[in-house]
Amino acid sequence: MKWTQVEVPTAARTQFLDITGAVASEVAKSGVKTGICYVYMPHTTAGLTINENADPDVARDILAALARLVPLAGDYRHAEGNSDAHVKASLVGFTLTVPVIDGRLALGTWQGIYFCEFDGPRHRHVLVGVIGQ
């Protein structure tokens, strides 16, 4: 399996970026018709999720809920001042696995792949690997 690095520049401290198109492009380039697409986050203050991408309020609502659950200021000891970002990233997760069927990501009608920034803005990237036939 070949891993490809996909660049993801972020513009705000917290944001969800829909990277479905970029990941789908890597699937198409791979030539795999039936298999699995892996997306990996090599950062500790950002995450990955699959959720609705038809209504932008869903991403906004998730960010608002995470901010309530894990506030910026808290009883944190990490000296960098971004402990909330580490916790949010751990809650969201760092990897995704999506089936590839007929050469396409087998996402549901309303699903998209999101890069979840919790400590931006930064220049980030994800790794995409596709395996199969």
Tens-place pLDDT, residues 43-60: 999 999 999 999 999 999
**Could you state, in order of their start, the residue ranges of all structural domains in the chain?**
3-132
**Nearest CA among 17, 122, 13 for reference residue 67:** 13
Q: Token pair for residue 112? A: 């998209």
pLDDT at 35: 98
Mean pLDDT of the chain: 97
Question: Which phi and psi (to 5°) does residue 112 adopt?
Answer: -140, 160
What is d(CA 130, CA 112) in angstroms, rounded to the nearest whole number? 17
When pLDDT is cut at 50, 70 and 90, the band that residue 65 belongs to is: very high
Residues 6+ apart with CB under 8 A from 122: 9, 10, 46
Residues 106/100, Cβ–Cβ less than 8 Å = yes
pTM: 0.96
3-132 homologous superfamily: YjbQ-like (2.60.120.460)
When pLDDT is cut at 50, 70 and 90, the band that residue 93 belongs to is: very high
